[in-house]
Amino acid sequence: MLAALSAAGIGVLLGIVIIVALGLDLVGLFGNWIILGAMALVYFFSGFTMLGWVSLLIMLCLAIVGEVLETAFAGYGASKFGGSRGSIVAALVGCLVGAVAGTPLIPIPLVGTLVGACLGAFGGAALYEYIQMEKSHSEALWTGLGAALGKIGGLFAKLFCGLLMLLVAALGYYYGF
């Protein structure tokens, strides 16, 4: 009875951790790495029986892919909306600066980070195109919009990778890989 309650408690805790981790993915933070860490702990504390190392390796690859996609999408969005190579870099830098600046400026947990990252991608790409490439206001703003939309797309791509990680964990548990 106690073991069943303990297992149920661990399951509930694991579920909460996964929900929080997926929420962190949506704001550009390290949710997939939390999922990977949680699954590694499950693997270790189950005596290496609930999951296999192959599952963990696949989840590690998916976490890396999620990070790459999140980063690349903002630049891709800027380029698809007419931005130059410099605006791609500016969008990526803007994402980082905006996320750091947005966190304390908008005191709603995680919202400031997300809004800051999107505005930073927009601002970085738009300012680069306007100042450095000497494009018109409307062209520069269009490129900034592409960068912001790309950032949002990247966040959803990262979330999708997190969901795939959970699918791999479930299949690894069921099929023993």
Distance, CA of 63 to CA of 59 (rounded, Å):
6
Q: What is the pLDDT of residue 2?
A: 45
Supply the pTM of this predicted model: 0.83
Output the furthest CA–CA distance in the chain (Å, rounded).
Answer: 71
pLDDT 10s digit of each residue in the chain, 177 long?
A: 445 557 777 888 889 999 999 988 988 889 999 999 999 998 888 888 888 899 999 999 999 999 999 888 988 999 999 999 999 899 989 988 998 899 899 888 788 988 999 999 999 999 999 999 999 999 999 999 999 999 999 999 999 999 999 999 999 988 988
